[in-house]
Amino acid sequence: MGVVSDVASALFGGVWRLLLETDFPGLGVSIAAVSVALVLIRFSIRIFGFLTGFGMSGGDYGRAASAAEKAKSDYDKGKGIFKDY
């Protein structure tokens, strides 16, 4: 496991250090802090949208309605999982 961390440190250590030492213009915080904040904001908005249903496009509702209509039609034809034997 030490080899993987050494390689990752060698590849990304210098870039991360540069991002930590460079201030974002006008904010007075590092570019790394702004980048992490943007990723966290985007992630939290996606989770909020998933939990509340916001952000779903009309196509998502259309596909759900199509699947429900197909299931109803299959049930009506007797091909559904609840058909009587």
d(CA 35, CA 3): 27
The predicted structure's pLDDT at residue 33: 92
Cβ atoms 45, 33 nearer than 8 A: no
Is residue 82 classed as helix, strand or coil in its secondary structure?
coil
47's tokens: 């989770």
Q: For residue range 14-52, what is the model confidence (pLDDT) as tens digits?
A: 888 888 888 988 888 999 999 999 999 999 988 887 777
**Per-residue pLDDT tens over the stretch 71-84:** 777 777 765 555 55
Q: What is the pTM of this model?
A: 0.50
The pLDDT value given to residue 2: 76
- Rounded (5°) CA angle 76-81-84: 70
